[in-house]
């Protein structure tokens, strides 16, 4: 069974339903994982997605904030939802495909503006969320699993537009990268995107603040696709759909794709 997967922080699934439909219509991934849906589950606009063949969904939602959903053409059942760091936020949902693959969809807290938990509660919440992820994977090693989402960390020097300038900026600080790497190690997770695209600058997010995001190109790779070691060799064809950042009323994130032969 071969299936394609995309992950996308949509920044409101209801506001940006037209570009979700555009992506599904033009790119047709078998599975689409969305973050920051900003909608209760019962308000997610399913009718248009279902008309395009996405008849399966698992999700967690809340009004105005957070929210995660997995849309699938392939039969899928819910496989859990964790409240890491006990924040009471809708930040994780898991689905299991008929081939036994589990897909974890995460929206890690952004962490606010100041990288110091003593003065910024949101930064502490981010670190605690990642610590809970790490501990969960240490306690129960994932198998035949994929983890995707807006993890809100750009770990590598070539995942940001200027490594030195961003070392003290939330999303690229050493303590965040250390927590990120501990999560990967704990679950034997492997970076699918960088296995396929090992060299060069690569981004999935560009700030709304830039007048011309494309020309300025001050991006960060905040959105990730991971696979456990037992299936990492099955992944291929990774890409970032950069031009989607320029669609009408865009998200500030671009979709990230991969294909798995399982």
- Domains held by the chain: number: 1
Does residue 104 carry a catalytic annotation? no
**Catalytic residue of the set 92, 104, 106, 253:** 253
**Average of per-residue pLDDT values in the chain:** 98
What pTM did the predictor assign? Answer: 0.98
Percentage with pLDDT > 70 across the chain? 100
User: So what's the pLDDT on residue 91?
Assistant: 98
- Residues forming the annotated binding site? 9, 36, 150, 152, 252-253
According to the model, what pLDDT value does residue 132 have? 98
- SS3 assignment, position 166: helix
Residue 51: strand, helix, or coil: helix
**Helix intervals (H) in the chain:** 17-26, 46-51, 121-139, 163-166, 174-186, 192-196, 213-216
DSSP 160: B
- Would you list which residues are annotated within the binding site for Mg(2+)? 9, 36, 150, 152, 252-253
Strand partners, 7: 33, 256
Active site residue 208: no
Give the strands of the sheet with 2-9, arranged side by side.
56-60, 68-72, 31-35, 2-9, 256-261, 235-240
Widest Cα–Cα separation across the chain: 49
Q: Which of 30, 150, 159, 191 is catalytic?
A: 150
Domain that holds residue 78: 2-261
Segment 181-211, tens digit of pLDDT: 999 999 999 999 999 999 999 999 999 999 9
Catalytic residue among 54, 56, 107, 159: 107
| 150 included as an active-site residue | yes
Residue 228 belongs to a domain with what CATH number? 3.60.10.10
The pLDDT tens digits of the residues spanning 136-175 come to 999 999 999 999 999 999 999 999 999 999 999 999 999 9
Report how far residue 97's alpha carbon sits from residue 247's, in angstroms, rounded to the nearest whole number. 31
């Amino acid at each position: 069974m071969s299936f394609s997967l995309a992950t996308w922080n949509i920044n409101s699934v209801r506001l940006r339903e037209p570009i979700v439909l555009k992506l599904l219509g033009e790119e047709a991934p078998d599975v689409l994982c969305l973050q920051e849906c900003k909608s209760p589950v019962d308000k997610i606009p399913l009718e248009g997605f279902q008309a395009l063949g996405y008849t399966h969904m698992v999700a967690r939602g809340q009004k105005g904030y957070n929210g995660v959903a997995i849309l699938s053409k392939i039969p899928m059942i819910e496989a859990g939802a964790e409240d890491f760091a006990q924040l009471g936020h809708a930040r994780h949902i898991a689905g299991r495909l008929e081939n036994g693959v589990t897909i974890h969809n995460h929206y890690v807290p952004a962490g606010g503006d100041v990288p110091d938990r003593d003065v910024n509660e949101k930064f502490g919440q981010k670190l605690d969320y990642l610590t809970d992820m790490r501990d969960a994977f240490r306690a129960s090693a994932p198998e035949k699993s994929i983890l995707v989402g807006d993890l809100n960390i750009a770990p590598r020097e070539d995942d940001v537009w200027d490594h030195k300038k961003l070392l003290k900026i939330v999303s690229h600080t050493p303590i965040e990268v250390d927590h990120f790497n501990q999560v990967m190690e704990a679950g034997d997770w492997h970076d699918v995107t960088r296995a396929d695209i090992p060299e060069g600058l690569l981004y999935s997010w560009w700030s709304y603040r830039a007048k011309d995001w494309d020309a300025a190109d001050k991006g960060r790779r905040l959105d990730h696709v991971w696979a456990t070691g037992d299936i990492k060799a099955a992944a291929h064809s990774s890409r970032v759909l950069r031009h989607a950042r320029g669609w009408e009323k865009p998200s500030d994130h671009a979709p990230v794709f991969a294909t798995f032969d399982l």
